[in-house]
Amino acid sequence: MIQKPKGTADIFLQDAEIWQYVEETARILMHDYQFSEIRTPMFESYELFSRGVGDTSDIVSKEMYDFFDKGDRHIALKPEGTAPVVRAYVENKLFGPEYPKPLKVYYLSPMFRYERPQGGRMRQFHQLGVEVFGSTNPATDVETIALAWDVLKEIGLTDLKLVINSLGKTADRIRYREALIAYLEPFHDELSNDSQTRLHKNPLRVLDSKDKRDKEIVANAPSILEFLSEESKKHFEDVQQLLNALEIPFSINSNMVRGLDYYQDTIFEIMTSSAVFGAETTVCGGGRYDGLVEEIGGPDVPGFGFGMGLERLVLLMKDQHVEIPDLTELDVYVVGLGEETNVETLKLVQNARQSGFSADRDFLDRKAKAQFKTAAKNGAKVVMTIGEEELSKQQVQFKVMATGKEVTLPLAEVYADFEKVYNLQASDMTAFNEFFGKEN
Ligand code: ATP
Ligand code: MG
């Protein structure tokens, strides 16, 4: 038996409904915030990520699905969304005068990372991400963080924590780097192998280590916040003030660096302590990347964005028993009795669908009782029944389930204007629902 590759998932039935709900909610919010969608390829040149994300990052050094194609091009499946969107921004000259400024885009896309699979960690996973190009205003940082916060709130999640930090500009980080190396060097032999390698290549990465002893060592490391220029300090203070103005609670963790090399100034993570993940886990991370567009060959345009892992959101929604609205409501169920009604039954469901209603029928020649049971289970609002007798008289039984009211209608009338027939017959149902205060 052939099985799905390790670290991938099939999503179907109820799970697919949760996914659709998350995606639809996100799209509505993206529109409210005036972001437009961008779709980029599933694979890109390897170099885009080695340059954009950074050679020393875990993503590039360990987790990429890369290969040489038949034309000997070095290709990688996209492990993250920002570098591809920046590439598209540069390649399509989206910085041109005809485009909005700032340019606000979002994506919903699978990502690929060769990682050890566990709860909320997959080899193919999905991200909702946004990127904003062309604004250094701290209000852009905060609007974008607020958007992430809103998405999570809107899908019903609670008990989340926002953590922010500032990485300053390149010059600040160069000075901080030296101080950090000086602090870490005496601990060299106690550091994990990864951190020993990174100590001189990219010491900020050591702050990000998940190793227990590394974490103890970096707890007392100098803080990057002491090394910020006046400009970066002011930017970070403004961000905090704006978050306070929106009453979005946050804390500062000066050891937070994020896993990607391109960040500067504001970075943030939204975390959960939910038991489903075992340890404190990040569901959304992002920040400012003012040098990246230039690095990828474009003009000097600032950027801000985030990536949100949808698998983790879905796990949390299930754990917190978030109720999702029923997206699969059924307007009409057609009960066909007897083989001879097969054609008419199909015509009736198609007619209902073409009039804009959701409709279904039985295909297995089941008894009346079984068909009515299915109709009720799927919450059909109307059940139309056609047996051999009705067929010979060119009629159909039309039953409004909420009231139990049943009438016999000529087929010709049903085909002439189904919407009119439905609304006329079901008007009692509207009154019924209003009476009981249900939404129609
Ligand atoms: P982690 O520290 O958990 O490995 P990361 O720093 O590598 O996360 P990012 O690259 O910032 O994560 O990606 C943003 C979000 O994408 C994460 O917060 C998480 O929700 C999600 N994510 C990242 N990697 C995976 C994965 N392998 N499987 C599922 N979701 C993931
Ligand atoms: Mg990771």
Please give the average per-residue pLDDT across 227-245, as a whole number.
Answer: 98
Q: Probe ligand 1: pick from 49, 65, 125, max atoms within 8 Å of CB?
A: 125
In the structure encoding, which two tokens stand for residue 232, read together?
Answer: 């970066």
Q: Residue 190 is which amino acid?
A: E
- Pair (347, 302) in one structural domain: no
Residue 140 CB–ligand 1 contact under 6 Å? no
Residue 429 lies in a domain: yes
Radius of gyration of the chain (CA): 28
- Pair (350, 373) in one structural domain: yes
CATH of the domain at 277: 3.30.930.10
Helix, coil or strand: residue 402: coil
Domain boundary (259, 294, 319) is at 319
Relative to the alpha carbon of 62, which ligand is closest?
Answer: 2
- Report the separation in Å between the CA atom of 52 and the middle of ligand 1, taken as the mean of its atom positions: 17
Per the CB < 8 A criterion, the answer to whether 85 and 107 are in contact is: yes
428: pLDDT strictly greater than 80: no
Per the CB < 8 A criterion, the answer to whether 19 and 317 are in contact is: no
Q: What pLDDT sits at residue 438? A: 47
Percentage above 70 pLDDT, the chain: 97
Find, among 2, 82, 70, the residue nearest to 286 by Cα: 82
Report residue 440's pLDDT band, with 50, 70 and 90 as the boundaries: very low
The DSSP H or E segment spanning 108 is strand 103-112
How many domains does the chain fold into? Answer: 2
DSSP structural state of residue 118: B
- The pLDDT tens digits of the residues spanning 316-330 come to 999 999 999 887 889
Residue 214 to residue 218: CA distance in whole angstroms: 6
Residue 259 CB–ligand 1 contact under 6 Å? yes
* H helix and E strand count, the chain: 17, 16
Q: What pLDDT sits at residue 434? A: 56
- Which is it for strands 251-252 and 160-166: parallel, antiparallel or unpaired? parallel
CATH of the domain at 391: 3.40.50.800
Mean pLDDT across the chain? 94
Find, among 328, 332, 207, 317, the residue nearest to 272 by Cα: 317
Region of residue 164 (phi > 0: left; psi between -120 and 50: alpha; otherwise: beta): beta
Residue 82 labeled ligand binder: yes
3-state helix, strand, coil in the chain (%, to 5): 45, 20, 35
In the structure encoding, which two tokens stand for residue 439, read together?
Answer: 């939404």
- Pair (369, 315) in one structural domain: no
Residue 372 lies in a domain: yes
Nearest CA residue ID for atom 3, ligand 1: 282
- Report the separation in Å between the CA atom of 337 and the middle of ligand 2, taken as the mean of its atom positions: 57
Q: What pLDDT sits at residue 439? A: 45
Q: What pLDDT sits at residue 57? A: 85
- Pair (263, 391) in one structural domain: no
- Pair (428, 308) in one structural domain: no
Residue 248 lies in a domain: yes
Residue 204 lies in a domain: no
- Pair (369, 289) in one structural domain: no
- Pair (161, 253) in one structural domain: yes
Helix, coil or strand: residue 259: coil
Residue 33 lies in a domain: yes
- Pair (111, 68) in one structural domain: yes
Q: What pLDDT sits at residue 435? A: 55
- The pLDDT tens digits of the residues spanning 66-116 come to 999 999 999 999 999 999 999 999 999 999 999 999 999 999 999 999 999
Residue 264 lies in a domain: yes
Q: Probe ligand 1: pick from 22, 282, 306, 308, max atoms within 8 Å of CB?
A: 282
In the structure encoding, which two tokens stand for residue 223, read together?
Answer: 């803080």
For residue 101, the Cα-to-chain-centroid distance in whole angstroms is 24
- Report the separation in Å between the CA atom of 383 and the middle of ligand 2, taken as the mean of its atom positions: 51
Helix, coil or strand: residue 59: helix
pTM, whole model, 2 decimals?
0.92
Residue 307 alpha carbon, nearest atom of ligand 1? 14
Residue 59 to residue 157: CA distance in whole angstroms: 28
In the structure encoding, which two tokens stand for residue 190, read together?
Answer: 């106690």
Domain that holds residue 245: 13-168+228-319
- Pair (306, 164) in one structural domain: yes
- Report the separation in Å between the CA atom of 436 and the middle of ligand 1, taken as the mean of its atom positions: 46
Q: What are phi and psi of 437, to 5 degrees?
A: 70, 20
Per the CB < 8 A criterion, the answer to whether 399 and 406 are in contact is: yes
Domain boundary (250, 284, 319) is at 319
Residue 91 labeled ligand binder: no
429: pLDDT strictly greater than 60: no
Give buried/exposed letters for 286-301 (b at 16+ CB in 10 A, else e).
bbbbbbbbebbebeeb
- The pLDDT tens digits of the residues spanning 124-162 come to 999 999 999 999 999 999 999 999 999 999 999 999 999
Residue 305 CB–ligand 1 contact under 6 Å? no
For residue 20, the Cα-to-chain-centroid distance in whole angstroms is 10
Residue 285 CB–ligand 1 contact under 6 Å? yes
Is the torsion defined by CA of 238, 253, 54, 310 positive or negative? negative
Q: What pLDDT sits at residue 261? A: 74
